[in-house]
Amino acid sequence: MTTSKTQKKDKWTMQNLPQGKDATKVARDFAKELLDIAKKNPVVKPGRKKIKRKHAHLLGFIQHGVNSHATGMWRNHRDKRGWKFSEPEYWVHMARTMERGMFDAMFIADELAPYNNYKQSSDDTVRYAVQCPVHEPATIVPIIGHATKHLGVGVTLSTAFVHPYAMCRHLSSLDHLTKGRVAWNIVSSYSKSEWDAYGAEMSDRSLRYERMEEYMELCYQLWNSWEEDSVIADRESGIYADPDKVHEIDFKGKFFNCKGRHFCFRSPQVSPVLWQAGSSPRGRDFAAKHAEAIFAVHPNVERMAEYRDDLNERCYTKFKREANSVKRIYGLQTIVAPTRAEAEEKYERIMSHIPLEGALAWISGHFGPDFSTYDLDEVVQNIEIPGIQGLFESIIFAKGGGPVTVKEAALIYAQGMGMPRAIGSPADVVDQMEVFMDSGADGFMLVATGTPGCFEDFADLVTPEMQKRGLLRTEYRGKTLRENLLDDGD
Ligand SMILES: Cc1cc2nc3c(=O)[nH]c(=O)nc-3n(C[C@H](O)[C@H](O)[C@H](O)COP(=O)(O)O)c2cc1C
């Protein structure tokens, strides 16, 4: 019997993973399949109403690392060409490009250590640059702030191993240095590799949230402890600040104690814009209580709308906050070119860079199970996931709700963390953004495909199309990130 190409493709197993050119072909073929599925089930339906919409908020989602959220991105011929991610010039260019594109902020994701659970090792994480190397995120914040006038910077800093006193001092300093343009993505470290690296026993989700609640309570006290007029700076009398207006904190909690005054004077935003991405019921409650903006990934419009309603309900019934008082920023990957055909070709090329083994290492890291122990054709809907639930759902629905195999899940996820994709001409992309806005998106977290090229493309092609339709600011009206984030246009 002769072995046909299709039979050969079906033969891939964990013991016989496609490598090199074979892996490229597997990923490219799957890209074509996903494009076909998307064409049969378009997000933008004919006869859509033209209505006036508010402005969208845009965030550029990246890491202080080589790869960000697309495994294999560094292989893209347009990725970091002439740039080094480890040097300031690159961040200056990235920041100015996003500001040119009228983004609200650059948003820096982070983990504290390389994933280590695929084959119980971090070898493939290192080998395939699976979010590795990743440098410390806050170090680039002042560079970005100094290179721009308006762009905000969201920074992910984990509460897991830092006392709230140190965290508040760090963030107040950054808020001063950016002149009020910093946001904090509050995370508690969901991956065991992070706890291993810090030599600690990982605590469970509910304990992590309980601890984070107390963490925030102390942070609020510290940030608000310098009253607005506490700094007098009177050279004649020699009095710099009024101690009656700089309140000493005396906090005794289950997890933290703190006695002392906050070391930074009141910063332009007082506290950073509070950002969150928890997706479990407990995570949603945390966001409904504390967050000013939330980052969520939803695979389709039904789930986007469901999420909007759920978050509004939690805000109102549990915390007496107005509906829509938390900005919902939904993940999106845009692949844009002057024509649809060029954009599709670009998408296939981008997908073809994914190394399947690296993709498996990534889903193992984010979702918990060691996927090397599963068959490539096992249906992921049958596998229990202890890791980031919210992101796993984006995979489950990526093929319209049909079964998704381990191999497919890895490839879907590796190209942009499972975010929905808008592929096409500028008009195609903005049409799709409008549909998502009608389903609850206040804005978009744009995941990179190859930097800085993808953000240059966005600023050159998508920004003008959005502005033409009245969907994006033409100037920044606020001084701080919070003011710009709250400005939805007239
Ligand atoms: C879209 C999205 C982005 C996230 N980005 C990060 C990140 O950069 N760093 C991090 O440590 N956790 C990140 N997380 C994890 C969440 O902050 C949260 O800790 C995790 O989802 C577990 O909480 P949950 O069970 O409530 O979802 C992200 C989660 C989502 C859904």
Is residue 28 in a domain? Answer: no
Q: Whose CA is nearest to atom 12 of ligand 1?
A: 187
What backbone torsions phi and psi does residue 253 show, to the nearest 5 degrees? -125, -170
Is residue 373 in a domain? Answer: no
The tens digit of pLDDT for each residue in 407-424 reads 999 999 999 999 999 999
Is residue 380 in a domain? Answer: no
Is residue 322 in a domain? Answer: yes
The tens digit of pLDDT for each residue in 371-380 reads 999 999 999 9
Is residue 213 in a domain? Answer: yes
Nearest ligand 1 atom, CA 63: 8
Tokens of 487: 């400005």
pTM of the model: 0.95
Does the C-beta of 63 come closer than 6 Å to ligand 1? Answer: no
Q: Whose CA is nearest to atom 30 of ligand 1?
A: 277
DSSP type of residue 461 = I
Q: Alpha-carbon distance 372 to 121, whole Å?
A: 11
Does the C-beta of 230 come closer than 6 Å to ligand 1? Answer: no
Which pLDDT score is estimated for 135? Answer: 98
CB 404 within 8 A of CB 412: yes
Is residue 367 in a domain? Answer: no
The tens digit of pLDDT for each residue in 324-371 reads 999 999 999 999 999 999 999 999 999 999 999 999 999 999 998 999
Q: Which domain holds residue 321?
A: 53-337+420-485
Which pLDDT score is estimated for 10? Answer: 57
The tens digit of pLDDT for each residue in 184-208 reads 999 999 899 999 999 999 998 899 9
| Residue of 186, 202, 388 with the most ligand 1 atoms within 8 Å of its CB, for mutation | 388
For residues 308-323, average pLDDT: 95
Q: Alpha-carbon distance 116 to 371, whole Å?
A: 12
The tens digit of pLDDT for each residue in 216-263 reads 999 999 999 999 999 999 999 999 999 999 999 999 999 999 999 999
Is residue 43 in a domain? Answer: no
Ligand 1: centre distance to CA 168 (Å): 20
> Which DSSP string corresponds to 246-280?
BPPEEEE-SS-EEEE--SSPPPTTSSPEEEE---S
For residues 48-56, average pLDDT: 89
Ligand 1: centre distance to CA 135 (Å): 18
CATH at 258: 3.20.20.30
For residues 298-323, average pLDDT: 94
Q: Evaluate if residue 119 carries a pLDDT over 60.
A: yes
Q: Report the percent of the chain where pLDDT is more than 70.
A: 98
Q: Whose CA is nearest to atom 14 of ligand 1?
A: 277
Which pLDDT score is estimated for 7? Answer: 40
For residues 294-315, average pLDDT: 94
Which pLDDT score is estimated for 6? Answer: 40
Count up the domains in the chain and report the number.
1
H runs (alpha helix) in 117-204: 123-127, 141-147, 164-177, 192-197
Q: Alpha-carbon distance 41 to 343, whole Å?
A: 18
Q: Evaluate if residue 41 carries a pLDDT over 60.
A: yes
Which pLDDT score is estimated for 76? Answer: 85
Average pLDDT in the chain:
93
Does the C-beta of 295 come closer than 6 Å to ligand 1? Answer: yes
Which pLDDT score is estimated for 392? Answer: 87
Q: Evaluate if residue 266 carries a pLDDT over 90.
A: yes
Is residue 136 in a domain? Answer: yes
The tens digit of pLDDT for each residue in 132-181 reads 999 999 999 999 999 999 999 999 999 999 999 999 999 999 999 999 99
Ligand 1: centre distance to CA 293 (Å): 14
- Which element (helix H / strand E) includes 24? helix 20-40
The tens digit of pLDDT for each residue in 208-226 reads 999 999 999 999 999 999 9
Nearest ligand 1 atom, CA 281: 26
Which pLDDT score is estimated for 52? Answer: 87
